[in-house]
Structure 1
Amino acid sequence: MPYPLAFALTLLVEVPLYVGALALDGTGRARATAAAVAVNCATHPALWWFLGRFTGTTAAAYWTALTLAELAVVAVEAALLVPLAGSRGPLPYAASFTANAASVLAGMLVARGLAAG
């Protein structure tokens, strides 16, 4: 999948999830949207570059790299939500985990559809 499509898909999936989750903490829609876009701008390019190093390797190596990289992204995005969205406690971590899990799944489905088509 080309990078612009992957990034657009990530934003399409993650931003509404972040906005909805952050509303539970009282974060306004504009601030939550800006925070969601910012955390993805901070993590997505590095994640894409890192995972590109495992393309063409064994399935085990790729899946291990994907899992570890996504766990790192969840932690970084959650930590960034604290100052950017004013979110506290477990909510930024739950929101980050949920948003990233959903976008990984969406990416897999789109990639499979592109490969089949």
Structure 2
Amino acid sequence: MPYPSALALTLLVEAPLYTVALVRAGGVRPARAATAAVLVNLATHPLLWWSVSRCTGGTAAAYWTAFAVGEATVCAAEAALLRPLAGLRLRGPLPWAAAGTANAASMLAGLLAGLLGAARW
């Protein structure tokens, strides 16, 4: 999947999930929640894409290891970035739960897009 499509799919899946979680569970205003959702993805997605794409020429094990480590790192980074961007408390599970859920959903969407041959849209 080309990078612009991957970023668009990520934002299409993750931004609404982050926004709903931050508004409903965190009491964040919708505009601020949506902005935070987009900003955390713009901060982490290019780095993940670059680091995982460097492993495409190696073994499948190397690729999937880099992918798993990269996704875990992205979840942690997005959870940490959500706090100041959305104005959340310094402690609490909401940023971690939102980051884990949003990233799992977009990862699944990307894998399904690849399996269904929709990677060339």
- Out of 108, 113, 117, the residue aligned to residue 114 of structure 1 is 117
Q: 1:104/1:32 Cα in 2 relative to 1: closer, same or farther (>3 Å)? A: same
Q: What amino acid maps onto 1:107 in structure 2?
A: G
Matches of 1:14 and 1:53 in 2, distance apart?
24
Write the mapping of 1:22-61 to structure 2, written as runs, cut at 5 A.
22-23=22-23, 24-61=25-62
Q: Any idea what the Cα deviations from partners look like across 1:40-79, whole Å, max 9, x if unmatched?
A: 0000001000011011321111111110000000000000
Matches of 2:98 and 2:53 in 1, distance apart?
26
Write the mapping of 1:1-117 to structure 2, written as runs, cut at 5 A.
1-23=1-23, 24-88=25-89, 89-114=92-117
Structure 1 residue 19: Cα displacement: 0.5
Q: Aligned to 1:25, what secondary structure does the other structure show?
A: coil
Q: What's the % identity of the aligned pairs?
A: 64
Q: What amino acid maps onto 2:42 in structure 1?
A: C
For structure 2, the 5+ residue unaligned runs are none
Structure 1 residue 93: Cα displacement: 0.5
Normalising by structure 2, report the TM-score.
Answer: 0.92
Q: Aligned to 1:62, what secondary structure does the other structure show?
A: helix
Q: Aligned to 2:88, what secondary structure does the other structure show?
A: coil
Q: 1:93/1:116 Cα in 2 relative to 1: closer, same or farther (>3 Å)? A: closer
Normalising by structure 1, report the TM-score.
Answer: 0.95
Count of equivalent residues? 117
Which aligned segments of 4 or more residues in structure 1 are displaced greater than 4 angstroms?
none
Q: Any idea what the Cα deviations from partners look like across 1:9-51, whole Å, max 9, x if unmatched?
A: 0000000100111011100110000000000000000100001
For structure 1, the 5+ residue unaligned runs are none
Structure 1 residue 111: Cα displacement: 1.2
Report the RMSD for the aligned CA atoms in angstroms: 1.5
Q: Aligned to 1:5, what secondary structure does the other structure show?
A: helix
